[in-house]
Amino acid sequence: MKFDGTFQYLGNHGIVFNVSQITLTDSDRGRLSELHFGEAKSAHYEVNRKVVEVYDKMLAKNLPCQMMIGISKPLTRQQGDTLNAQRTRIANLAASAFAGATAYVATPYVGAPVGIGVRMYVNDTLPTYHAGDVLVSIEAQVNGGIGPQRTVSTLIIKT
């Protein structure tokens, strides 16, 4: 396991991430659960579990896998509210798109209930953020084999 460095990244809405870059080989797979991510505090085992899951998903075998693990500082109330407002906008856009398409194919009487159902589904699917939540982003890349492969996975550590 080779640590390529750490840095801070300022994301959207002023969310600050501490990012660790590591390069893994197949022989390092067993040691992944030993990593300690201090930014995750008591939830570092959840982060370890997710890192192992992402590595296994990549099926890197004997190819090196570059991973970036970003762990945010706890969200402020304003950041949580901004992310929740964004969630509402996405739900409304999805509902409008489906309602409009259904009304075009069928009738407006069918389109309206479809839009309401889509909005409810999207609101149930997208997470709600609170002050103190910590966001974790794990990005992995393997070059070679059938070509470059990438995956991204996220995790929300609730307060």
Rounded-to-integer distance, Cα 139 and Cα 17, Å = 13
Based on the fold, state whether residues 7 and 70 are members of the same structural domain. yes
Based on the fold, state whether residues 15 and 63 are members of the same structural domain. yes
Query: Which is it for the CA torsion 38, 39, 43, 49, positive or negative?
Result: negative
Is the confidence at residue 58, as pLDDT, over 80? yes
Q: What is the pLDDT of residues 87-127, one digit of tens each?
A: 999 998 888 888 888 877 777 677 788 888 888 888 888 99
Judge contact between 116 and 143, C-beta under 8 A.
no
Based on the fold, state whether residues 28 and 58 are members of the same structural domain. yes
More confidently predicted of 108 and 42: 42
Is the confidence at residue 61, as pLDDT, over 90? no
| For range 5-26, the mean pLDDT | 91
Q: What pTM does this model have?
A: 0.83
Based on the fold, state whether residues 55 and 28 are members of the same structural domain. yes
Based on the fold, state whether residues 138 and 69 are members of the same structural domain. yes
Range of the domain at 64: 2-74+133-157
Is the confidence at residue 43, as pLDDT, over 90? no
Based on the fold, state whether residues 46 and 92 are members of the same structural domain. no
Name the pLDDT band for 54 (thresholds 50, 70, 90): very high
Q: What is the pLDDT of residues 66-94, one digit of tens each?
A: 999 999 999 999 999 999 999 999 998 88
Looking at residue 159, what is its pLDDT? 80
The token duo for 4 is 């390529």
Lowest average pLDDT, out of 37-41, 132-136, 137-141, 153-157, goes to 37-41
Mean pLDDT of the chain, nearest integer: 89
Rounded-to-integer distance, Cα 22 and Cα 28, Å = 11
Based on the fold, state whether residues 148 and 86 are members of the same structural domain. no
Rounded-to-integer distance, Cα 70 and Cα 89, Å = 26
